[in-house]
Amino acid sequence: MAQFQLEIAITLLLLFLGYIFGRHAEKSHFKSIIAREEQHQGLVAVSVKSPTQDDSTKPGMLVTGSVVISVDYFKRFLAALRTIFGGRVTSYETLLDRARREAILRMKEEAKKLNAERIYNIKLETSSISKSASGNIGAVEVLAYGTAVLRVNQ
Amino acid sequence: MKFTPAKVPEGINYSQSNPIKEFLLLGSGVLAVILLIVFLLGSLLDWSSKFIPFSYESAMAEPFVQEYVDEYGKGSAEVSQYLQGLADEIAPLMSLNEDIQLTLHYVDNETINGMATLGGHIFIFRGLLEKLPSENALVALLAHEIAHVKLRHPVKALSKGVSIALLMAVVSGQSNTDVTGLLSNTSQLAFLGFSRSQEQAADDEAIAVSQRYYQHLQGAHELFAILLAESEQATLDTISWFRSHPEVSARINNVAELANNNGWQQHGQSTPIPNHIIEQLAQDKAAFQLKKH
C-alpha cells in the first residue's frame, strides 16, 4: 500500500513538474519562433521542385535544419489517456508545430549564412526518438532540408 | 508567378484548448472505469468466495499462521487450551459448516486485540484478555470471532485484497505485475480488516450466541463496555480492534435493540474467568515486562 501511495505521489509530482516546465518551455519557444520567423520572412522557401529559369543557372546547395524536442511528462500522460478513448491528441499538436517551424527556421538560418537567395524543394522528415524504450520519455525529431540557390556575386 | 512571403497565421496547426481541462476530463473517465471494475470484481469475488472449500483456506493459512505465531511468541498452552475449550463449547451453538475447524491461539502480547483469519485461526491477545471482567465477555468475544470464520469473512477479505492488489499492479503497470508475488504476500493480505457490515453481522451472531449460552446478554454488554472505555483513550498502535469496527456506542445500542426485539434478558449473573487463567496471564505480563526492561 505504502509503495502504491509513493508511486502515485511520484506520478503526481512528475505531472506537476511536466506541466509547469513544459508550459514555460513551450511559451518561450513560441515567442522565439514568432520573432525569428518575422526576421527571416524575406528568404523565400518553397516546396516547388524546379527553380525558375533565372535561378536555374545559379549554384545550388543542400541546406538542412533539424531539431529534437522532448515531450514533457504531462503531455505524454495526456496522450496516453487519449489512446484509451481516442480522438485528437492535442497535447502533441503544439509539440510538432514547434518542431516543424524550428527546423525550417534553422534551415533558413543556414541558408542565410551561405548567402542564399531562395530555397527550393523543401521537405520535412519527422521521426520519434526512444519511442520503443519503455519508461523512457519520448522525443520528436524534425529535419527540414531543401536546395538553396546561392546569390552570384557580380 | 510572383511569390510574396507572408506571416504564418498562428494557431491553425494546434489546438488552443486547455490541457488541464482535457486532463481532468480524461483522468476522471479512466478513474470512473477503474472504480467500476474494482466494484464489479469485488462483488463477484465476494459472492464467489463461498465456493472456496475450507480446506483450501486452511492450506493457504498454514505458512503465515506459523510465521505469525513465531513473530509474536507463543503464549502458554494452558490459556490456549482454555480458549480452545470455550470455543469448542460454543461452536455447536453456531451451526458452523462441518468442514470448518477452529484453532485458538493465545498471543502473549500487550496489544488489545483479537482477530480471526483464514483457516479458522483465531488469535486472542493477552492485552484484551486481561481487560475482560468475566467469562461471559470472553464468550461474546470468541463468538464474534467465530462468526467471522463461519461467515467466511477472512476469505472474502483476502479475495478483495488480492483483486485490489491486482488492479494496483495493472494501474501502476511496470515491475510489480508479478501475480505469483501477489499471492506470496497473502500473509499481509490475510490481516486485512473486515468491513463494517461484516462486523455488524459478526456482532449479531455473538449476541445471539451469548443468549443461547447464558440465556442473557450480560457478556456482550461487558465486552462492549470495555471496548467503549478503551476507544475513548485509544491510541492507534495500542488498539487495532476498532479500526473498521462500527462505533462502539452503536454496537451497544444494537445489543439492547436485539434484546428488545427478541425478548432476551439483557443482564444477568456473570461467570468469572477461572483463577488459574488469571494467574497465568499475570505471570505472562510480569515476564513480558521483565523482558522489555
pLDDT exceeds 60 at position B186:
no
Give the one of B14, B20, B26 whose C-beta lies nearest to A82's C-beta: B26
**Torsion over CA of A29, A33, A34 and A40, rounded to 10 degrees?**
160
pLDDT given at position A99: 95
Grid cell of A33 as nine digits? 519562433
pLDDT given at position B25: 92
Chain B residue numbers with beta carbons less than 8 Å from the beta carbon of A84 are 26, 29-30
Chain A residue numbers with beta carbons less than 8 Å from the beta carbon of B10 are 34
pLDDT exceeds 60 at position B117:
yes
Whether residue A75 lies within 8 A of chain B, CB to CB, comes out as yes
> Helices in chain A by DSSP H: which ranges?
2-39, 73-85, 90-113
ipTM: 0.78
pLDDT exceeds 80 at position B190:
no
Instruction: Convert the pLDDT of each residue in A35-54 to its tens digit.
Output: 999 999 989 899 998 888 88
Whether residue A5 lies within 8 A of chain B, CB to CB, comes out as no
pLDDT exceeds 70 at position B169:
no
pLDDT exceeds 60 at position B238:
no
pLDDT given at position B226: 86
Contacts (Cβ under 8 Å, ≥6 apart) of B135: B86, B219, B270, B271, B272, B273, B274
Highest mean pLDDT: which range of A110-114, B3-7, B45-49, B245-249: A110-114
- Residues A26-47, buried b or exposed e (16+ Cβ, 10 A)? beebbeebeebbeebeebbbee
B109-118, B164-173, B266-275: the lowest-pLDDT one: B164-173
Work out the average pLDDT over B32-59: 83
* Better-predicted residue by pLDDT, B6 or B166: B6
Give the distance from residue A4's alpha carbon to the nearest chain B alpha carbon, in angstroms.
7
Q: Which chain A residue has its CA at the smallest distance from B3's CA? A: A44
What residue segments make up the domains of chain B, in order of their start?
52-292
- Strands (DSSP E) along chain B, which ranges? 103-107, 114-117, 121-125
Residues in chain A: 154
CATH topology (fold) of A43-150: Translation Initiation Factor IF3 (3.30.110)
Work out the average pLDDT over A5-22: 89
Query: Would the CB atoms of B176 and A77 count as touching at under 8 Å?
Result: no
Mean pLDDT of the residues in chain A: 89
Give the distance from residue A153's alpha carbon to the nearest chain B alpha carbon, in angstroms.
23
Query: Would the CB atoms of A93 and B15 count as touching at under 8 Å?
Result: yes
* pLDDT grade for B176, boundaries at 50, 70 and 90: very low
